[in-house]
Structure 1
Amino acid sequence: MSVIIERLFIGQIARLKRTFNESDVKLCNELTGDFSPVYQEAKNDWKGISSKPLVPGLLTEGLITQVISQKLPGTACVLLQKEVVYYLPVHVGDEITAELEIIDINHERNWVTQKVSCFNQFGNEVVKGQVVILILPSHSS
């Protein structure tokens, strides 16, 4: 069993905030080859209101994995499963807070399940879901 997993507990929470800008979107487009016009032009959003260009979902998911790698657990791990639902669009200029909460720990497998919630600057939940990660053994001596 990993020493790291012994320090984790159900209910433990970690958060990170990030504001996505046009440069983030352009870099993501270049890396993925996804040049959909929704990332460059103002469009009607899901509620029919004209808005800023959208941020690719991959960037919001990247903020989720940043919380995992830097904060909870903040150690070497592998993402085994990710299920997310996008409730509202994320637009260029939005400040997104990704919050992860441990909801299950499987000590035999070194698996940790976390609830995922992402909120925009208005407090609206834009992404919800869960992840399962495998905590890797520590390599320190």
Structure 2
Amino acid sequence: MRDDVDMNKLEQFYKGQTARLQRTFTEEDVKKSSELTKDFSPVYNQKEDVWKKFYEKPIVPALLTEGLITQVISEKLPGVPCVLLQKDLVFYHPVHVGEEITAEMVVIDINADRKWVTQKVTCLDEDGKEVIKGQVVILLLSNQE
């Protein structure tokens, strides 16, 4: 949780406010994700050749890459207790094991009455290619009425 933000003040957030995090996904990350979700698609498995028909390397599950986005929300922006209300994401290019991915969130709208913050989502690979784009709407949880 962010120390510089009073959880009770929606005014701490503003349009254009930006946060980002980077992560490199590993084979172990993919394995753990598959075990938790029971999604054992061969396109994620380094040891199977099915992915070679479609991609240059095995891909990282979408749910795992979405985890980086929610990590930015929970740790950075807003970095305070909140609930994800809506997400709309387009996966333009696959994320591969071993690639560093940067998730960037930008506040594009604040609805003070509902305590909703809408953020633009952009994820880039290490070459700067956009791999995911979209937006999320979050509900800020606070004691403020």
TM-score (norm 2): 0.88
Q: 1:1-141 maps to which residues of 2 (within 5 A)? A: 3-40=8-45, 41=48, 43-44=51-52, 50-138=55-143
Q: What SS does structure 2 have at the residue aligned with 1:58?
A: helix
- 1:72-109 residue CA offsets vs partner (Å, 9 max, x unmatched): 00000000000000000001001000000000000000
- 1:13-37 residue CA offsets vs partner (Å, 9 max, x unmatched): 0000000000000000000000000
- Percent of matched pairs sharing the same residue: 62
Report the CA distance between 1:138 and its aligned residue.
4.7
Runs of 4 or more above 4 Å deviation: none
Question: Which is worse superposed, 103-112 or 35-44?
Answer: 35-44
1:132 partner letter: V
RMSD (CA atoms): 1.6
Structure 1 residue runs of 5 or longer lacking an equivalent are: none
2:72 partner letter: V
1:86 partner letter: F
- 1:30-75 residue CA offsets vs partner (Å, 9 max, x unmatched): 0000000000045247xx6x51211000011000000000000000
CA contact (8 A) 1:4 1:135 kept: no
Distance of 1:21 and 1:59 partners within structure 2: 11
Structure 2 residue runs of 5 or longer lacking an equivalent are: 1-6
Distance of 1:111 and 1:44 partners within structure 2: 43
Distance of 1:92 and 1:58 partners within structure 2: 14
CA contact (8 A) 1:96 1:119 kept: yes
1:74 partner letter: G
TM-score (norm 1): 0.91
2:115 partner letter: N
